[in-house]
Amino acid sequence: MPSIQIVLKRILVSLLIGLAVGVLINEVTFLFLRETARAPKVIELVIPEGTAESIANGETPPSLPDAMTFVVGDTLLVRNNDVTDHQLGPLWIPAGTSASLPLDAAQSYAYECSFQEGNYFGLDVHEPLTTSTRLYGILFSGLPLGMLIALYAVIMPSKKKNDPQKNVQP
């Protein structure tokens, strides 16, 4: 039967291994979410001059994205540099003016849009990725994994060292 020190050492090493794996898995995942790892800010979308004419001709305006990703608390500021009035969901933006849309709930929006070829504009609003979110992810994945490894390490028998006294033949 292993001593208490060996058992505690196995548990500690197992928890550290679990946390290390948790860090690895979560940080790789968070690399894909880095656009939401920021504080809320004002994001400007400029409708260039000639956009209405391009859409009327069946062309896609070159400088406008099809969809955008935001964090809760962002404000979308739409500046209309076109000679035609435009609409984005609840916003009516007369030519030469701007309007803002506060984004205060995490969800995906699909707005009717007059400055996109398909008359649709998608907005994805996510909770901001904070340091505490990252730590929770590491702890909620690493600690249970470490406990499972520790359980396995405790119930598995350790290798027995050969005792030279027992191997002596009379």
Range with lowest mean pLDDT among 5-9, 39-43, 103-107, 138-142: 5-9
> Is residue 164 predicted with pLDDT exceeding 90?
no
pLDDT of residue 159: 67
Residues sharing a CB contact under 8 Å with residue 109, sequence separation 6 or more, in sequence order: 89, 122, 123, 124, 125
In this model, does residue 165 exceed pLDDT 60? no
Q: Which CATH architecture has domain 38-126?
A: Sandwich (2.60)
Can you give the residue ranges of every domain in the chain?
A: 4-32+130-155, 38-126
SS3 53: helix
User: Two tokens at 148?
Assistant: 């499972």
First to last CA, the chain: 28
Q: Check if the beta carbon of residue 150 is closer than 8 Å to that of residue 95.
A: no
pTM exceeds 0.85 for this model = no
Are 31 and 24 in contact, with CB atoms under 8 Å apart?
Answer: no
pLDDT in tens, 51-99: 888 888 888 776 677 668 899 999 999 999 999 999 999 999 999 999 9
